[in-house]
Structure 1
Amino acid sequence: MAETEGSPRKGLNLRLLEIFAAVVHANGMTGAATALGLTQSAVSQAIANLETSVNARLIDRGTRPLKLTLLGDIIYRRTIEILDRVQDLDRAIELQLNNAIPMLRLGVADSVASTAGPHLVRNLDRLAAQFMIWSGASEASVRSLAERKVDFILTAEEAPPEAEFVSIPIFEEPYVLVLPIELSEPHYTLETLIAAAPFIRYGNQSFIGLAVDAYLQRNGVMPPNRYRLDTSDSVLAMVEASMGWTISTPLGILKTRIGSPRFHCLPLPSPAPTRRISLVARRAEGEALAMQIADAARNALVEHCLPGLKDIAPGAVFRSEFS
């Protein structure tokens, strides 16, 4: 019987589309076979069956690396949309049935993972059967979410997400001066601090490092580039050793677990910048789940981290409610 307009093509099914997407993602059939736990011949046959179903070539087999034909590119983009919708439907069904989703992949800012992380996972424990959590600037970036390496991110990235993403604010903290105990005057200007001791910078690829450099530039000061270290632990260890001063965040300090009397925190000269932690998700894709994760993260930060943050930076203003 001939196909009628609107009827499904013979042989076209979700599994073939999943295999096709895996081939494109892995940039070849060998990688797709490994990722799917199939033989390479099974993957090749599935692609052949899909091409037979649409009566056209989808992959240009004469090029390396793999390239899609025009129709192949169209079908790939539609396939990703379909698979996303199926995954979203599966999650919605599982949540409606109060069942755990199979896996939750989170990219989390390092300072959040190291302080609120265990409490966050405990709050989400019944939500997923398996958790995969990565921490760090690249893992908690919008790019990582766009490339589907993770399902959601808890990030301090300041770049506004594109229209395809939704951002839910979780927590906001101020940047503060972190001074060695030798610098004990209650009132400093940036200029007097630069004259008094070396400024210790964060790596220029970190969110904190970029935000601090931007703040200094706005205030018309640029300390000599003498020390630059790539982690909060190493930056704060330098301050603890009286090698200089820095600008950091209370969460970054709490992460180091340094309760040292060798340094103290003071407010930055106004207008002081703040750092906002947000939950970012793909728009129209698991947004109900995103709200649950956002609430769990906010609870973990407020209940388990806020008291320590207030001890680190007395008088500082922290926000966890946003209109």
Structure 2
Amino acid sequence: KPPSMDDLTDRLPLIRYTRRTQMGWSIESQFKRMGLTLPGKLEFDSSEDVIAMVAAGRGWAVSVPSHILHGLREPATLDPVPFPGPGFHRTVNLVVRSAELGTVPAEVHGLCLEVLARDVVPRIHRLIPWLGDGFELAASSLERF
């Protein structure tokens, strides 16, 4: 059974993304919606720093799969567990002005999808097998740009 946030907070400090980042703001908003006030002395701007501190045993953090993958150097040093509360949802969009840049947006879209499908999604599923379809390419992203 994954530890609760109370269990984690009793044993280790919370390592936060600074509230000046979108990730930090999103996590803090979720804590607020859940009525949680969690102490945390360490705040960082980057996923590399947050994940490195957790991997070094300095504390625990709330993060998203892509940040864990991005910040992790040695997969065996972390044990990602499900968030013990309402989950997070995030969508990444490619936005361009219409009738500009010719075929470049479609090429970038295709390249991004290729890299995500070939490299990122499988690595995340290997790192966090319990995630299942919680990290996937949205069907709409597979449509032609």
Which stretches in structure 1 are left out of the alignment for 5+ residues? 1-185
| Partner AA of 1:294 in structure 2 | H
Contact 1:191-1:221 at 8 Å conserved across structures: no
- The answer to whether the aligner puts 1:251 opposite 2:66 as a matched pair is yes
**Which residue in 1 is equivalent to 2:40?**
225
| Partner AA of 1:322 in structure 2 | A
Q: Distance in 1 between matches of 2:72 and 2:11?
A: 27
Contact 1:281-1:287 at 8 Å conserved across structures: no
- Residue 194 of structure 1, CA deviation: 2.2
Rg: which structure is higher?
A: 1
| Partner AA of 1:310 in structure 2 | H
Residues 185-231 of structure 1 deviation map (CA, whole Å, 9 limit, x = unaligned)? x2332233222321000122222111111111111112113111121
When you count strand as a share of all residues, which structure comes out higher? 1
Within the candidate set 57, 61, 74, 1:242 is matched to 57
Q: How many residues align?
A: 138
- The answer to whether the aligner puts 1:319 opposite 2:136 as a matched pair is yes
Q: Distance in 1 between matches of 2:102 and 2:136?
A: 23
Contact 1:204-1:210 at 8 Å conserved across structures: yes
TM-score normalised per structure 1: 0.39
Secondary structure, counterpart of 1:242 in structure 2: coil
Q: Distance in 2 between matches of 1:290 and 1:189?
A: 43
**Which residue in 1 is equivalent to 2:110?**
295
- Residue 266 of structure 1, CA deviation: 0.7
| Partner AA of 1:207 in structure 2 | Q
TM-score normalised per structure 2: 0.82
Q: Distance in 2 between matches of 1:191 and 1:211?
A: 20
Secondary structure, counterpart of 2:113 in structure 1: helix
When you count helix as a share of all residues, which structure comes out higher? 2
- Residue 288 of structure 1, CA deviation: 5.4
- Report matched runs for 1:37-116 at 5 Å: none
Which stretches in structure 2 are left out of the alignment for 5+ residues? 141-145
- The answer to whether the aligner puts 1:200 opposite 2:37 as a matched pair is no
Identity of aligned residues (%): 26
Secondary structure, counterpart of 2:2 in structure 1: coil
Residues 271-319 of structure 1 deviation map (CA, whole Å, 9 limit, x = unaligned)? 2102322112124534854233222201111101112111221121212
CA root-mean-square deviation: 2.0
Q: Distance in 2 between matches of 1:242 and 1:210?
A: 24
| Partner AA of 1:224 in structure 2 | P
| Partner AA of 1:318 in structure 2 | F
